[in-house]
Amino acid sequence: MWNFIHDRRSEIAFNTYQHALLVFYAVVIATILAVVIAVVITRIRGLDVAANQVSAIALTIPSFALVGLLLPVVHLGPTIGLVAVAFYAVWPILRNAVVGLQGVDPILLESARGMGMSEATVLWRVRLPLAWPVILAGIRISTQMSMGIAAIASYALGPGLGTYIFTGLSKGGVAANGLNYTVVAIVGIVVVALIADGLLVLLGRLTVSKGIR
């Protein structure tokens, strides 16, 4: 095992980096989409119920099925990975963003308007900062989920550590390094997931407004 890793250390590092990068891009895209959608949803009455229904249904779609659905539309490997991972990452963030934005005390909004803030300023300076800890919790859930989905998505020639799992599978037996490939991929993904979660906690410490910490 040690020799296996040592011989391929740059390749493993590259695949790990690709895996992390794929998840990072997907979660960033998902966060932007989810927050924008949540802002719209919380303005229109009744839409939050519909959004919950849609996200419950969307999350039941098996990720391997989504790969099958996306292949005919997006032919390129890495793009499929990005689209598939971002698709799943949206829902937990959306749910939390809606809850977070709705949880802002109306009295605070009232006083913000009373201070002469425009709607956009209220959103940017009051509502989003107050909802941010809840949104961030959603981002953490999405990031964890994305790690495994990225591995499945890499079956469609996508990048990342998932490719090692499929290499391991095709090589099979213990003698032919199949086990090594698979173990490296699993451990690598768990480590990346742990580091990402740690970084998100750190991000929370740095970005959550002092008044509500």
Contact footprint for other proteins (CB under 8 A): 49, 53, 56-57, 59-69, 71-72, 144, 147-148, 151-152, 155-156, 162, 165-166, 168-169, 172-174, 178-179, 182-183, 185-186, 189-190, 193-194
Structure tokens at 65: 């099925």
Closer CB to other proteins, 132 or 181, in the complex: 181
Least Å distance, CB 97 to other proteins, is 21
The minimum distance between CB 117 and other proteins, in angstroms, equals: 35
Rg (CA), the chain: 20
Length reported for the chain = 213
* Closest separation in Å from C-beta 209 to other proteins: 29
Residue carrying the six token digits 């419950």 = 56
- How far apart are alpha carbons 163 and 20 in whole angstroms? 14
Shorter beta-carbon distance to other proteins: residue 62 or 114:
62
For other proteins, give the closer residue by CB, 131 or 159.
159
Count of beta carbons in the 10 Å neighbourhood of residue 118? 10
Structure tokens at 176: 């032919």
**CB neighbourhood size of 49 (10 A):** 10
Which residue, 56 or 202, is less far from other proteins as judged by CB? 56
Beta carbon of residue 201, minimum distance to other proteins (angstroms, whole number): 15
Helix, strand, coil percent values for the chain (each to nearest 5): 85, 0, 15
CA distance 29 to 44: 23
Report residue 109 as tokens.
């909004």
* Least CB distance to other proteins at residue 82 (A): 17
Q: Choose between 31 and 163: whose C-beta lies nearer to other proteins.
A: 163
